Amino acid sequence: MKKILVANRGEIALRVMKTIKKMGIKTVAVYSEADRNSPHIKFADEAVCLGPAPSNESYLKMDKIIEVCKELGVDGVHPGYGFLSENAAFAELTEKNNITFIGPRSKAIEVMGSKLAAKETVKAYDIPMVPGIDEAIEDVNKATQIAREIGFPILIKASAGGGGKGMRVVNEEKDLEEQMKRAISEAKSAFGDGSVFIEKYVASPRHIEIQVLADTHGNIIHLVERECSIQRRHQKVVEEAPSVVLDESLREKMGNAAVKVARSCDYVGAGTVEFLLDENKNFYFLEMNTRLQVEHPVTELITGVDLVEQQIKIARGEVLEIQQEDIKINGHAMELRVYAEDPLNDFLPSVGNLETYQLPVGENIRVDNGFEEGMDVPIYYDPMLSKLITYGKNREEAIQLMIEAIADYKVEGVSTTLAFGKFVMENEHFKSGDFDTHFVKKYFTPEALSKKNQAEAKLAAKVALARYLQEKKLLKTPH
C-alpha cells in the first residue's frame, strides 16, 4: 500500500493519518464544506472536498469516495469509526473496485451489525448470553409471556440499534405494551428497522469490552479489557484500561470468549467484543463492534501496540506479529471524551466558536485532537472535540494526571465535558472502583457540579486575596 484515503474527519482522521505517515505511506483526506479548515486536511498529503456540510451529502457518499480513490490512485481506505466504518455495502464496494478496505470483510460487518444475527452466530461457541429471546418480536402477548418466564425487569432492545436508541427498561407488566410500541417506533425512525427483542435486565452492570486482532491466516489474539461503565444516554464518556474489577482468571475467560466471538464470524482486523458484567462477576455477550473504537488509545498505552498500524498490516495480508503471550498489562490508562456538550444542561450539544482552545501537554498526556483555536464547532456531526488520555504506573497516578491535564485544558466559546470529567475523577465511588453503568444517574447532578465549581471559585478567590495581602504587607515592610 502506497496511498491510503481516510474516510473520516476530526480527531480520528488525524490520529489514523499519523500512523499511516509513520509507516511511510501517503495520505488522502476528504472533507465537507463545514470542515474546510480542519487540521486533518492540512496534515494530509492530498485533500478532496466531498460536498456540503450534511454527512449524507459528504462523508456518507460512497460513490464519491470511490471516485476520489480512483482519481488519486488510492490503494486502501481506512474508515475510522462512525460514518461508513460499519457499512457492509461500502466494504463490498471498495473490494469490487480493487481498493483494500482496512477493516473486516463485509459478511462479518453484516452479521455483527444485527444484534440478533450476532447472537445466532455465536450461539454454537458456548458464549454466555443474557437470558431472553433471540428473535425479533412484535406480538405483545408473546412478549408478555416471555417477560413472565424470564422475570421483570426486562429490557426491550432494537436489533439494528446502538447508542441507546430503541431501548426500553420495563419494570412491570402493565407498562410492556406501551414501551414496546415506543421502542419499535424509535428503532424504525433511527435505523429503518423496527425489529426488537427482549432480554432480562441486568440491574447493576459494568460495561467491559475486549479488544481483538485477527489476521487473514487464522490467528486471533485479544489485548485485554477496557472499562467503559461511565456513560450518559447509553454512550461512553470515560474509559480506562485495565478494569479495576477483573482478576487474571476472569480476564482470561472473557478474553477467550472474545476470541471465540471473532472466530464465529471469520473476523479480520481490529474489533471489539462488548460484555455486561453483573454484580456477581457473571459476564454476558452484548455485541461486537467491527471497527476501531473511540477508546482504543487506552489499550495502546497499556500494551504498547499501535492498533492502526496492526489494522494496516493485517489489511496488507501480513501474519500477525504479536502472539497472545506477548500481551502484558503495563500501567494504567484513563480517557475522557471531550465533547462540546453542556453537562449542566443534560449534556446537550454546545455549538459555537472556539475563542480559546489550548491543549494540555506533558509526559504521559496524550490528546487525540481534531480542532484548533478560532474554529467553529459544526452542528452537523458528533460533538466530540478530542480525547484526553493519561497514563500512569497505576490507576491513582492516571487519575491524578487526568485532573491536572483537565485543569490545563483551556476552552472558551463552547461548553465541554471537561468539568464533568473532573467531577468523575474526584468522585469517591469512581476512585474506589465501586461504580456501574448507572454512575451518572446515581451521583451526578448539574447542581452538584455547580456547587463544586462555586466552592472551587471561592477557594481560588481566597487564595488570591491572601496572596494580595501578603504582597501588600511585604511592600509596606521597610527594608
157 and 9: one domain? no
98 and 139: one domain? no
Structural domain includes residue 342? yes
Give the number of domains in the chain: 3
Mean pLDDT throughout 103-114? 95
pLDDT over threshold 70, residue 461:
no
pLDDT over threshold 70, residue 449:
yes
pLDDT at 25: 98
77 and 93: one domain? yes
pLDDT at 453: 64
Mean pLDDT throughout 91-110? 97
Identity at 198, one-letter amino acid code: I
Cell of 189: 425512525
- pLDDT tens readout for residues 378-428: 999 999 999 999 999 999 999 999 999 999 999 999 999 999 999 999 999
Domain with 39 in it: what CATH number?
3.40.50.20
167 and 240: one domain? no
Least confident range from 27-31, 88-92, 100-104, 134-138: namely 134-138
332 and 297: one domain? yes
Strands ordered across the beta sheet of 100-101: 46-51, 26-32, 3-6, 76-78, 100-101
429 and 293: one domain? yes
23 and 157: one domain? no
Q: Range of 309's domain? A: 206-447
DSSP state at residue 123: G
Least confident range from 96-105, 168-177, 265-274, 288-297: namely 168-177
Cell 473511540, residue located:
294
Q: Of 471 and 305, which is predicted with more confidence?
A: 305
- Report yes or no: 209 and 274 within 8 Å, Cβ to Cβ: yes
Q: Which bin fits 68, alpha (ψ -120 to 50), beta or left (φ > 0)?
A: alpha
Mean pLDDT throughout 359-369? 98
**Helices and strands in the chain, H and E counts:** 16, 22
d(CA 70, CA 54): 24
Q: Of 154 and 478, which is predicted with more confidence?
A: 154
Element (H, E) at 48: strand 46-51
Q: Which residue among 102, 123, 140 closes a domain?
A: 102
For 211, half-sphere exposure in the C-beta direction (CA atoms, 13 angstrom radius) is 30
Cell 488522502, residue located:
28
Cell of 223: 489485548
pLDDT at 465: 75
Output phi, psi for 314, to 5 deg. -65, -40
d(CA 430, CA 22): 37
pLDDT over threshold 80, residue 286:
yes
292 and 157: one domain? no
pLDDT over threshold 70, residue 335:
yes
- Report yes or no: 395 and 244 within 8 Å, Cβ to Cβ: yes
Average pLDDT, the chain: 93
pLDDT at 68: 98
Spell out a b/e string for 384-407, using b for 16 or more CB atoms within 10 Å of the CB, else e.
bbbbbbbbbeebebbbebbeebbe
Q: Which residue among 87, 102, 117 closes a domain?
A: 102
pLDDT at 46: 98
Structural domain includes residue 474? no
- pTM, two decimals, is 0.89
User: How many whole angstroms from its chain centre is CA 261?
Assistant: 20
Q: Which of 228, 241, 386, 395 is nearest to 304 (CA)?
A: 241
pLDDT at 394: 98
Q: Of 186 and 24, which is predicted with more confidence?
A: 24
Domain with 138 in it: what CATH number?
3.30.1490.20
Structural domain includes residue 149? yes
10 and 92: one domain? yes
Structural domain includes residue 432? yes
pLDDT over threshold 90, residue 179:
yes
- pLDDT tens readout for residues 32-55: 999 999 999 999 999 999 999 999
In DSSP notation, 224-250 reads: EEEEEEEEETTEEEEEEES-TT--HHH
pLDDT over threshold 70, residue 318:
yes
354 and 218: one domain? yes
366 and 384: one domain? yes
Cα 149 to Cα 144, 162, 173, 176, 198, distances in angstroms: 9, 26, 12, 14, 11
Structural domain includes residue 377? yes
Q: Report CA dihedral (361, 362, 363, 369) to the nearest 10 degrees.
A: -10
Structural domain includes residue 466? no
d(CA 246, CA 207): 12
Sort strands 26-32 and 3-6 into parallel, antiparallel or unpaired: parallel
In DSSP notation, 418-467 reads: HHHHHHHHH-HHHHHT---TTHHHHH--HHHHHHHHHHHHHHHHHHHHHH
pLDDT over threshold 80, residue 170:
yes
Q: Which residue among 102, 119, 144 closes a domain?
A: 102
- Report yes or no: 228 and 295 within 8 Å, Cβ to Cβ: yes
Structural domain includes residue 361? yes
Domain with 215 in it: what CATH number?
3.30.470.20
194 and 211: one domain? no
Structural domain includes residue 116? no
Q: So which residues are the catalytic ones?
A: 291
